[in-house]
């Protein structure tokens, strides 16, 4: 198995200029576009605590008063940008990337609808990676200063933020174990089962889904060469564990994939 700490520079998704500053509308200002609210959002059960009352949801609706659309290949933010907000993905998907000085990139994660971006910026007051849209996407902008104030009044929300931070620690630990102890076969199997679980939790099919990331990006995330990733997909297909049709993946034998 060949392991790569980072991948070659990408040519199909040029590095855009630094992310455009976000201007959050003041409370009470009329939005220029009808903005979806937490109280009516299908992703609410994923990114917000379930026990919030209607009054508490109304408070959040005042704070989360802006969304932003990001085109495929564009940056939501770049490493070293000032930290001001966290972002809940309403639609679409992203990859988070750490860029090396020689132009190589290392993918640190893939985020889908319901996931949160930007939490790692709390520590140093600036973003630690690039967040790049894998497809046309929409995020809800949550100004962190206002969120802190809400958390002081709303204990369920405060607890939920703690849970999100804790889950980031768990994710990092799992990623270290994946890279440090698993074979190439086990890494790809774990990656597919994790995606399946996350899609299912959001009400989508856990058996069939479309991969927005490339095989190369999967390799960057799993610490593997592109050729190794492609070989593992072919192996799983021969063993009738997975059916791959381009970027559409169908898990034929989830138990078998789990045994891997």
What is the chain's pLDDT, residue by residue, as a tens digit (260 residues)? 444 444 654 444 444 434 433 333 333 333 334 455 776 776 766 777 777 788 888 877 777 768 899 999 999 999 999 999 999 999 999 999 998 888 788 999 999 998 999 998 988 899 999 999 999 999 989 899 888 888 888 888 888 888 888 888 887 877 777 777 889 999 999 999 999 999 998 888 888 999 999 999 999 999 999 999 999 999 999 999 999 888 899 999 999 999 98
Give the separation between CA 73 and CA 52, rounded to whole angstroms: 35
- Domain architecture of the chain: domains with CATH: 38-174 (2.60.120.10), 183-259 (1.10.10.10)
Contact partners, residue 130, CB within 8 Å, separation at least 6: 75, 77, 78, 79, 96, 97, 98, 99
Q: Tell me the two tokens of residue 219.
A: 């390799």
Give the separation between CA 257 and CA 243, rounded to whole angstroms: 12
């Amino acid at each position: 198995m060949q392991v790569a700490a980072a991948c070659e520079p990408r040519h199909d998704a040029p590095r855009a200029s630094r992310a455009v500053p976000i201007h959050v509308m003041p409370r009470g200002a009329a939005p220029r576009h009808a903005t979806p609210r937490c109280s009516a959002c299908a992703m609410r059960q994923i990114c917000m605590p379930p026990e919030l009352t209607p009054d508490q949801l109304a408070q959040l609706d005042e704070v989360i008063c802006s969304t932003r659309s990001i085109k495929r290949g564009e940056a939501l933010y770049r490493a070293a940008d000032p930290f001001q907000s966290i972002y809940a993905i309403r639609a679409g998907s992203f990859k988070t990337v750490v860029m090396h000085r020689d132009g190589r990139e290392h993918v640190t994660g893939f985020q889908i609808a319901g996931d949160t971006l930007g939490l790692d910026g709390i520590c140093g007051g600036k973003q630690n990676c690039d967040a790049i849209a894998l497809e046309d996407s929409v995020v809800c902008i949550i100004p962190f200063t206002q969120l802190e104030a809400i958390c002081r009044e709303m204990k369920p929300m405060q607890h939920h933020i703690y849970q999100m931070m804790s889950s980031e620690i768990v994710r990092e630990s799992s990623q270290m174990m994946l890279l440090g102890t698993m074979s190439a076969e086990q890494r790809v199997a774990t990656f597919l089962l994790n995606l399946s679980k996350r899609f299912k939790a959001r009400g989508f099919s856990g058996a069939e889904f479309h991969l927005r990331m490339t095989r190369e990006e999967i390799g960057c995330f799993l610490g593997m060469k592109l050729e190794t990733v492609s070989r593992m997909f072919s192996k799983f297909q021969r063993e009738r564990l997975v059916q791959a049709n381009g970027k559409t993946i169908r898990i034929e034998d989830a138990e078998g994939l789990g045994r891997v």
